[in-house]
């Protein structure tokens, strides 16, 4: 399997997960509104479930937008640089993103997840078959998204290197 096929598979899986979570969130919010206003007996778990789904959608969605290059970017310098310098700037920017993601999302997020799991912090409204949902599992999206961002950043860095090498071969 080539990197392109792997990247497409990861993108497809991530977008499918996001679509599923959005659908699940819509269903839980509709159910919450129905039980609150029609039956006057609001569902207990749907409020927290939709909140946690929104957290996962927001954080994983950030990783996905970075993957498909639809994230917010200031490209004031890019048009004024040569092709090689543009690629060097892309490498530098992606190195900064990977470093930030590694420190905050992967390292910090993992430490926070482990801390909440160690202290058995539970979600008050979500219980499945008598078992409380540990909040650490909700926060696990942070290091997962960090790993995805790092994956996409490394791919972008390698792509920029390939473009530089290809441009140098073509100019000879």
| End-to-end C-alpha distance for the chain, whole angstroms | 32
Give domain limits for the chain.
3-171
Please state, in angstroms and rounded to a whole number, the distance separating the CA atoms of residues 23 and 17.
Answer: 10
Percentage of the residues of the chain whose pLDDT score is greater than 90 = 70
Q: What is the mean pLDDT of residues 35-64?
A: 92
DSSP-derived secondary structure letter, 82: -
94 neighbors 149 (Cβ within 8 angstroms): no
Q: How far is CA 131 from the centre of its chain?
A: 27
pLDDT band at 79 (very low <50, low <70, confident <90, very high): confident
Give pLDDT, residue 140: 97
- Model-level pTM? 0.90
In sequence order, the 6+-apart residues with CB closer than 8 A to the CB of 83 are: 163, 167
Element (H, E) at 123: strand 122-128
Q: What is the mean pLDDT of residues 96-123?
A: 95
DSSP-derived secondary structure letter, 66: H
Percentage of the residues of the chain whose pLDDT score is greater than 70 = 96
């Amino acid at each position: 399997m080539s990197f392109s096929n792997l990247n497409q598979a990861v993108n497809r899986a991530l977008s499918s997960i996001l679509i599923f979570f959005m659908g699940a969130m819509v269903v839980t919010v509709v159910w919450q509104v129905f039980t609150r206003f029609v039956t006057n007996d609001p569902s207990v778990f749907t409020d927290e479930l939709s909140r946690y789904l929104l957290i996962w959608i927001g954080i994983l969605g950030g990783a996905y937008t970075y993957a498909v290059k639809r994230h917010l970017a200031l490209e004031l310098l890019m048009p004024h640089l040569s092709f090689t310098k543009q690629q060097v700037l892309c490498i530098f920017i992606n190195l900064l993103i990977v470093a930030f993601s590694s420190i905050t999302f992967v390292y910090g997020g993992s430490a926070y997840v482990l801390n909440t799991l160690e202290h058995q912090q539970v979600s008050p409204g979500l219980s499945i078959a008598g078992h409380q949902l540990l909040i650490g599992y909700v926060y696990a999206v942070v290091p997962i998204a960090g790993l995805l961002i790092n994956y996409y950043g490394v791919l972008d860095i390698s792509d920029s290197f390939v473009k530089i090498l290809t441009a140098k071969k073509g100019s000879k």
